[in-house]
Amino acid sequence: MRTIKGPAIFLAQFMDDKPPFNDIKSICKWVSNLGYKGVQIPTWDSRCINLKKVAEDKVYAQEYKSMIESCGVEITELSTHLQGQLVAVNPAYNTMFDGFAPVEFRNNPKKRTDWAINQLLYAAKASKNLGLSAHVTFSGALIWPYVYPWPQRPKGLVSTGFNELAKRWGPILDEFDNNGVDLCFEIHPGEDLHDGLTFERFYSATNNHSRVKMLYDPSHYILQQMDYLSNIDIYHDFIKMFHVKDAEFNPSGKAGVYGGYADWIERPGRFRSLGDGQIDFKSIFSKLTQYGFDGWAVLEWECCIKNNKQGAKEGAKFINDHIIQVTEKTFDDFADSGSDQEGINKILGI
């Protein structure tokens, strides 16, 4: 067993136009003062990182890494959630997802996809240059609009969608492999990889690529009414990253998993700040520790009630209190009477 590292924090939901949230150094100092030891960097935000430069200039990458560490924290992972989303976009979402891409690539799905793939290739090199072993992204979605089987899905639609998804991600996965970095897909509604079955379909379509890994975030499982604890039992060999995010699910006679198009505050399933939801984090930290997960416990703040500053302040202590310092001895060692093979044979009567 190993001790989980942390607490760390994902910066995406905290970046703003006002200090200390508008500059990477100032926000790193802010989270360090709250007790965080690591930061997960959103690479689409130019206030946080110059991804291309970190990928292409090893000297600059080390300078960037040292600058972060001078603020009292270290880089846990890089994130390409928004770029990964654009690797595969169903035409129904073209307009809404165009905003994730630079202006010059909008209204041109092919160029947008090419840009996104190139961003992931940069991320592989940048991760290596920063000495990181894992990276997080979204899979994108070609078949998400057909998640509910009505009208009846044409035979072959799902397999064709996953084969195309694997085809697009294949060269990216190979580049991550060349750089010694695992590519962790956040299992998330709205992505083609949104539960265990879809993760397995994708893994199979990539011919079981060794770099296909998983980011575990229980908040997305409770909102789907999945068993988020047995998920760890099943997929612990794939789990290389961990978002610590709380949520609650309160179904009613009016709405359930689908939410009735309600805003977040009115949905049965809602993201909450750590400790305010229903997720059993004691059991999660126990299971992850039991299976030897030694990555970072990274706060992802999303809450429709509590503000992010309070959520961040409370989150550092919450994660600290849940990290298990693994035991170096067996609790009943005091009662060990010792023995050798001759003694064992005597005990067994052989």
Domains and CATH numbers, the chain: 5-348 (3.20.20.150)
pTM: 0.95
pLDDT at 331 (0 to 100): 65
61 neighbors 129 (Cβ within 8 angstroms)? yes
Mean pLDDT, the chain, integer: 96
Concatenate the DSSP letters of all residues of 79-117 into one string. Answer: EEHHHHHTTSB-GGGHHHHGGGS-GGGTT-HHHHHHHHH
Task: Average the pLDDT over 302-320 and give the result.
Answer: 97
In tens, the pLDDT along 242-289 reads 999 999 999 999 999 999 999 999 999 999 999 999 999 999 999 999
Q: Using the 8-state DSSP alphabet, how is residue 271 labeled?
A: E
Q: Using the 8-state DSSP alphabet, how is residue 152 labeled?
A: P
In tens, the pLDDT along 190-219 reads 999 999 999 999 999 999 999 999 999 999
Concatenate the DSSP letters of all residues of 165-195 into one string. Answer: HHHHHHHHHHHHHHTT-EEEEE--TTSS--S
pLDDT at 212 (0 to 100): 99
